Every structure is written in C-alpha cells, then in structure tokens.
Amino acid sequence: MKRNYKKEYARDHSSKKDKLDRAARNKANKEEDPPPGYEVDHKVPLSKGGGNGKSNRRVVKRSVNRKKAAALRKNLS
C-alpha cells in the first residue's frame, strides 16, 4: 500500500502549534549546529512548558532524542 504523505502531513504537522514547534526546533538546531547524527534536545519539552533558551537545550544523539519524543507522545495520548 502506498503511503499517503499529504494525509500524514495534515495529521502530524499542519496545526498552528506544530508549525510554531517546528520553527522553534529549526531555530535551536541552527543556533547549536549539532554534528551529523545529533539533534538539539529540550531538557524540559516545549509541550511540558519548557523554554527555548540555551539553559533548556542540549545536543544528544538523534536516536536518543527520537525515543524521548516517542515516549512523550505516547504518554500524552
């Protein structure tokens, strides 16, 4: 079965909050400039009231950050 990318985008990325979160994530990645395979992680997630300041950011392996995000999404649903 073929993936429906438009449906996935509408489901996961099209709300105003999603767009603002993505913009904040892109800004943090640009400021921190992590090496390949790494991402900027928010110690206290934005969805839990964490800020986007340097004191709430750290560079971690992409796999670690994605696991943390998946666990957070699972707990929120």
Does some domain include residue 65?
yes
CB 27 within 8 A of CB 4: no
pTM, 2 dp: 0.64
Q: Is 12 exposed, middle or buried (0-12, 13-18, 19+ CB in 10 A)?
A: exposed
Does some domain include residue 74?
yes
The answer on pLDDT for 63 being more than 80 is yes
Higher pLDDT, 76 or 27: 27
Does some domain include residue 10?
no
pLDDT of residue 61: 96
The answer on pLDDT for 42 being more than 80 is yes
Nearest residue to 39 via CA among 18, 21, 65, 19: 65
What is the chain's Cα-based Rg? 14
Confidence of residue 77 (pLDDT cuts 50, 70, 90): low
Does some domain include residue 75?
yes
Q: CA 66, CA 39: separation in Å to the nearest integer?
A: 9
Counting the structural domains of the chain, the total is: 1
Structural domain boundaries, residue 73:
38-77
Does some domain include residue 17?
no
Under DSSP, the state recorded for 58 is E
Does some domain include residue 49?
yes
The predicted model gives 56-66 an average pLDDT of 93
Does some domain include residue 72?
yes
Does some domain include residue 15?
no
